[in-house]
Chain A
């Protein structure tokens, strides 16, 4: 069967960055994909979406009107230079190279820059470093696939967030050590509801909401040889013992935890508990923790911010202070002294709580995005961008800290759509 042009690419949708995805291209458009999950496929096909932002837009008399790119860049430049303390937010799905330029821009503007990681797993990474007092390290996903005989998803639902996590990397592949793959592994899911990830696994523990810490403590007690109560957070003693036995037996175990662990009042204690659990002296195997990071290049921003300003994971940088301080988007918006915002590769109007949205609504917004979305609709000026990993090359960091090179395989949909990095460089030069 003649397929025409076929490209093997790295899927830029989530932080799994699957590198075995094929796109069939016809007439400069992606007509079908192979191996991408439902979300990856939908993301790649946004390239041809009717919702694609291909024209710069400027707010005039209450309405967004098409404008020339140079005009839009000028307006953006003016808004940013006039602002006393602009906020530069998003960065979750742009390349590492663009993130570096973004940080330079924030420095020049003496503004605040932060990414989605400060409301997501950046916090987990930071807490892991703070509590264990060492640099965050985790095995690669390939190492997990090769060696893991116990894979735990705790407060995470990979079927619905990272659909290919099990099949591409951790559970089903026949690894170098686990040569039969699934048969040599135990898979455990801990969650408050029976999610789709809980099908076809060895043990499902349905924990009552906010009781994760009790289960973590019970497991530690079991490993220490102590007697357990009959029921912990809705889980029977028998099941905890089963889980504990699996942990004792395992030679290589990884706990992939999700926002279920983090979005609780005692999230710090949860992470602290998990660290204690994986480092328990009675475990003979090698255990590790890995957060289920969502955005494709959230980690990239953290690494860039760490390198360029020395801030820990999960923090942005406040360049209005001298020397620059760590801060977060929430802090910056709640304090209310940000008087303009540049939003890139994020849709805060759809994802932020109302309080923060209200703050954003009252300041001029410069939005750089590939699609028409709720945030673009509220923009003072919108600048269209190309999609990284499709129409622009770039580097992204996978959830296990591995660097992935994404390449360009399609042309920009319009001469108005520039790569994120170029737009930012343009602004950097003009200001």
Chain B
């Protein structure tokens, strides 16, 4: 699992706590970076000072996948998906919104707007991510640790990065 953590990011920052970014220190900056509430460019020393060149490159590599992830840190790569529907049956929110799914039955088209996951045209799709348990806490930057869809995805089409 390619889970990013704030400490890993912190290790690559200047660790000078210069506060130029407007945060209380490098660790706080790292946490906000992962929550995508601040841009890497706000850390000006990283870009201005040659000594940090290698660290910057590593940081950019590390953070690129995150820029493609949705609000809860989730990435769904449709081309990898085989439409098994494990995600939509295992997801507690999906089943709560569409109780039929507790018996393994998929989501009917008329109910698709109520749920997080549907399988349409043989591929899983994310419809309403705001319902995800991980979503609720993004403001507080502490993600609920539910990742069942990632754990049971056969093909690693679903990845949760943070």
Contacts and interface: CB of A to CB of B under 8 A. Distances in A.
Nearest to B112: A34
B104 A36 contact: no
A191 B160 CA distance: 28
A221 B106 CA distance: 42
Contact of A168 (B85, B107, B154): B85
A35 B103 contact: no
B86 interface: yes
Interface string A38-59: 1111100000000000000000
B109 A24 contact: yes
A35 B82 contact: no
Q: Sorted from nearest, which 8 A-B pairs have the closest CB atoms? A: A41-B122, A35-B106, A173-B104, A38-B122, A37-B83, A163-B84, A159-B154, A200-B152
B20 to A, nearest CB: 44
Contacts of A164: 83-85
Interface size class of B (residues with CB under 8 A): 20 to 34
Given A34-B119, A164-B85, A22 B108 contact: yes
A174 B84 contact: no
B95 A163 contact: no
B113 interface: yes
Contacts of A159: 82, 84, 154-155
Nearest to B85: A167
B82 A37 contact: yes
Interface in B79-130: 81-86, 88-90, 95, 100, 102-110, 112-113, 118-123
8 contacts: A20-B100, A21-B106, A34-B108, A34-B109, A36-B122, A159-B82, A172-B104, A174-B103
Contacts of A160: 82
A173 to B, nearest CB: 4
B27 interface: no
B23 interface: no
B71 interface: no
A142 to B, nearest CB: 8
A32 interface: yes
A173 B89 contact: yes
Contacts of A32: 120-121
Interface of A: 1, 3, 6, 8, 20-22, 24, 32-42, 145, 159-160, 163-164, 166-169, 172-174, 181-182, 196-197, 199-200
Contacts of A41: 83, 121-123
Contact of B122 (A3, A8, A42): A42
B104 A34 contact: no
Contacts of B109: 3, 6, 22, 24, 34
Interface in B144-161: 151-156
B83 A36 contact: yes
B120 A169 contact: no
Given A20-B105, A37-B85, A196-B155, 18 more contacts: A1-B113, A6-B110, A20-B100, A22-B108, A33-B120, A34-B107, A34-B108, A35-B106, A37-B82, A37-B83, A38-B81, A40-B83, A163-B82, A174-B95, A199-B153, A199-B154, A200-B151, A200-B154
B106 to A, nearest CB: 3
Contact of A172 (B107, B120, B122, B152): B152
Contacts of A181: 89-90, 102
Contacts of B95: 174
A172 B119 contact: no
Nearest to B84: A163
Interface centre among B112, B119, B123, B156 (most CB of A within 10 A): B119
A145 B102 CA distance: 11
A32 B88 CA distance: 18
A207 B153 CA distance: 23
B103 A34 contact: no
B152 A37 contact: no
A204 to B, nearest CB: 13
A3 B104 contact: no
